[in-house]
Structure 1
């Protein structure tokens, strides 16, 4: 039997197909999910969508069989991005399941689950119960025939046009100056959504790798790795573009490249979008996770907002947004969350905000973004470590003995130093990695601190 504790993580389901999970596991999870949402809220329908991976359709159909076996209907939205699934779950008021492994390599797949209204399901909000019920079903070799007393039904619904119209209603790009935009979809779902959302606007789109291909023949659909931005950077320079957009595999994250071909920090994008959301006057709270630049809370306060710091991860951020009625939330991993989008993350809407900010004035993006960049950051540096807890403890001991050092444990280990430098060291939820993020007043200090911590981590 599959080890579900290895694939059902803090925020979602993720693992290698078929080694770690297959259609039988998907069927069990679908059954448990249907039981959970029906028992919790009385849900009678579930909406599903899937990305372009070869295993996504078989897994989503097996999941649907499990849902149907409990008398719950399935609405299949078909090919879509993760934020399109959130749109469906929000606009249709149905629990949802998105089949994708996001930025992971081709052999992986996964499921992102949500309640009706795109409300999160994570380890502290239902995912443990779903895992336990799934394990029980697999152990019992449960039968997934439909109950003739209340058989679930399957229908299809293409929500792409509705999704595009909704986003365009939130950010009006019709009056901006013409922009040339190079978009690298990485053979992922951005190739499906960008033409629908951004067509017919004052944008000249230069497409890169729009062909849907779950084998990722050009590069991994993971823009967090700088190696996967190289083609887009070259494309921006080659075409003399105003901006470059890079989407990950399921297109819920978007990374921004300026007109020079240089990456714009996701923290700067968080600051920029936060200012735009605050200017609407509909709320003052902005969420930022603890590895976002310290510039973000500074900028939020300067524009009359209230910054709230939270741990990393979409389920935690969405819960905090609901608790505080925040208008916007940003993560340094380029996940951006909007109250106007059911508090869900959408890279497309964030990209549209940046396009609007750029197109509403005459300066190049590099100058526009400079106002939101205040410190030198390392980006996320990953180290494969066997004894994660032991390495973190060693770093804690070393820095804890120094004067003027503040330590907190909101998510991993965060160490703040007297000169304004800080770093966060946290274990991956999905891989045997320690993730290090460092920020300092200047690049030299950042590099020194980064290397000092890495030496202890990799000892």
Structure 2
């Protein structure tokens, strides 16, 4: 009997409620399909700390072995470390994680050799078709080999910064009971920082808060620790530790755009004239900082598969997203929240003052943040916006972007829900609020 996996295969990965939408049988079928699709003699597989991950991952591995693949089993590992394994072993890889989603979810992130992306248009649709068609193919030659990449990955991360310049900063780190609780100690232990750990115990039920640092309520404990202990900076990771957000010494959240600008400047100091990518939701300040530091700014669509592809095309040294994903050429073009955090800590070590002062040159505009609106007719709402703002500079690289001299907005549809996502920026807070409310009124007519 064929499967219908349309609900769980998304634009960039697989996400599902367990066991309603994904169980061991389905995981096994996807593992078999993945091995057949990539056609490689070896693949790497890892998993996060979610309650359902061991059984689902084991079923996936069994399906891949049945297809004749030799599986390098990385066990409990962060997504960025598994991407590293894909790079150093030159193998496709699959990571069981649902990132920041609630405990009942799980999912699979996949890549080709050297951490090259697999998205809907570059393989996910084919893997889905193979898994749905069944039955599983059986071939000889499969097997399982345990690997441990964390020590090598930790040293790789540390090589991205000048260790001699690092100062004994006091750093609060919230792992959110996610995989950063395993990866961060191995990376940070040899460094001079004083780390104040929050929720480093691996627990896929997320007993303290969801591992989703983009939501303010999940930063409250970190902000409290920073203020009470006089920390220089705070770092919050998502569930699989490939994404991070920073908090300054006052407890204020640092946006993904600001972190992108700071990291871009660090890397351009070391690589003059390099190309840097930023997605179209990022602040105007990102483009400006890249240009001011002699770099070549390139604007991209939102999403890791698009950014990785553009990095390969342009030879870009770095790419940043407003959502806390940061991609590095010297990390197989894969994202790593830990490398981004280390580069900011390197910059702060060399700066004569607190982080809030270091941020000032990058925070030039007022942003709305991402605002979701439920709409039944996404296309109709975007057409209303196009007509209303026809006098602005328009592009449709990803949704609709309209730009004026003093403000801009982007409105794009969700891939999975009847939502439109609005991001808007203006030169001051008053103008931002006025334009935000005006655009939202058009969207919600």
TM-score interval for Structure 1 and Structure 2 normalised by the shorter chain: over 0.9
Aligned to 2:115: 118
RMSD (CA atoms): 1.4
1:312 and 2:306 are equivalent in the alignment: no
- Which residue is equivalent to 1:70? 67
Task: Note the alpha carbon deviations across 1:322-351, whole angstroms, 9 max, x for none.
Answer: 000000000000100000000000000000
For 2:434 and 2:101, locate their aligned partners in 1 and report how far apart those are by CA, in whole Å. 31
Residues 391/2 of structure 1: CA separation in 2 closer, same or farther (3 Å cut): farther
Change (3 A) 1:175 1:280: closer
Partner of 1:344 in structure 2? 334
Provide the residue aligned with 1:301 in structure 2. Answer: 291
- Check whether the contact 2:92–2:115 (CA below 8 A) recurs between aligned residues: yes
2:63 and 2:413 map into 1 onto residues whose CA distance is 33
CA–CA distance in structure 2, aligned partners of residues 407 and 175 of structure 1: 45
Counterpart in the other structure of 2:5: 4
Distance 2:271 2:403 in 1: 33
1:439 aligns with 2:439: no
Cα deviation, 1:68-92, whole Å, max 9, x if unaligned, reads 1111110110111110110110111
Instruction: Please state whether the residue corresponding to 2:6 is helix, strand or coil.
Output: helix
**What per-residue deviation string (whole Å, max 9, x for no partner) do you get for residues 428-453 of structure 1?**
22333221111000011111111122
Q: Assess, with a 3 A threshold, how the Cα gap between structure 1 residues 250 and 432 changes in structure 2: closer, same or farther.
A: farther
Question: For residues 278-298 of structure 1, what are the alpha-carbon distances to aligned partners after superposition, in whole Å with 9 as ceiling and x for unaligned?
Answer: 122266110000000111111
Note the 1:28-39 alignment, pairs <5 A. 28-38=29-39
Unaligned runs of 5+ in 1: none
Query: Residues 68 and 153 of structure 1 are in contact (CA less than 8 Å); yes or no, is this contact kept in structure 2?
Result: yes
SS at match of 2:234: strand
Find the counterpart in structure 1 of residue 413 from structure 2: 427
Structure-2 separation of matches of 1:263 and 1:226: 8
Provide the aligned length of Structure 1 versus Structure 2: 444
The answer to whether the 8 Å contact 1:46/1:75 transfers is yes
Aligned twin of 1:54: 51
Shift of 1:260: 0.6
Moved more, 349-358 or 270-279: 270-279
**What is the CA–CA distance in structure 1 between the aligned matches of 2:366 and 2:5, rounded to whole Å?**
40
Contact 1:86 1:118 in 2 (8 A): yes
Contact 2:87–2:332 (Cα < 8 Å) also in 1: yes
**What TM-score does the superposition give when structure 1 sets the normalisation length?**
0.94
Structure 2 counterparts to residues 17-36 of structure 1, below 5 A: 17-36=18-37
User: Per-residue deviation at 1:33?
Assistant: 1.0
Shift of 1:175: 3.6
Q: What is the aligned counterpart of 2:168 among 175, 178, 183?
A: 178
> Bigger CA drift: 28-37 or 93-102?
28-37
Aligned to 1:129: 126
Q: SS of the residue aligned with 1:76?
A: strand
In the alignment, what sits opposite 1:364? Answer: 354
8 Å contact 2:272–2:295 — kept in the other structure?
no
Q: Secondary structure at the match of 1:4?
A: coil
SS class of match (1:222): coil
Alignment partner of 2:90 out of 80, 93, 101: 93
Structure 2: distance between partners of 1:427 and 1:337: 24
Name the structure 2 match of 1:253. Answer: 243
CA deviations over 1:373-416 (Å, ceiling 9, x no partner): 1111111112233332232222222222xx3x111111111111
Provide closer, same or farther for how the CA distance between residues 395 and 299 of structure 1 changes in structure 2, counting only shifts above 3 A. Answer: same
* Aligned counterpart in structure 2 of residue 416 of structure 1, from 389, 403, 425: 403
2: CA distance, partners of 1:386 / 1:36:
36
Given the alignment, which residue of 99, 103, 108 partners 2:105?
A: 108
What SS is found at the alignment partner of 1:124? Answer: helix
Residue 191 of structure 2 is aligned to residue 201 of structure 1: yes
1:455 and 2:429 matched: no
Tell me if the contact between 1:95 and 1:114 (Cα under 8 Å) persists in the aligned partners: yes
> Residues 108-147 of structure 1: CA distance to partner in whole angstroms, max 9, x if unpaired?
111110011011111121111111111111xxxx246x53
TM-score by length of 2: 0.97
| Corresponding residue SS for 2:398 | coil
Q: Which residue of 1 aligns with 2:77?
A: 80
> Contact 2:67–2:136 (CA<8 Å) still a contact in 1?
no
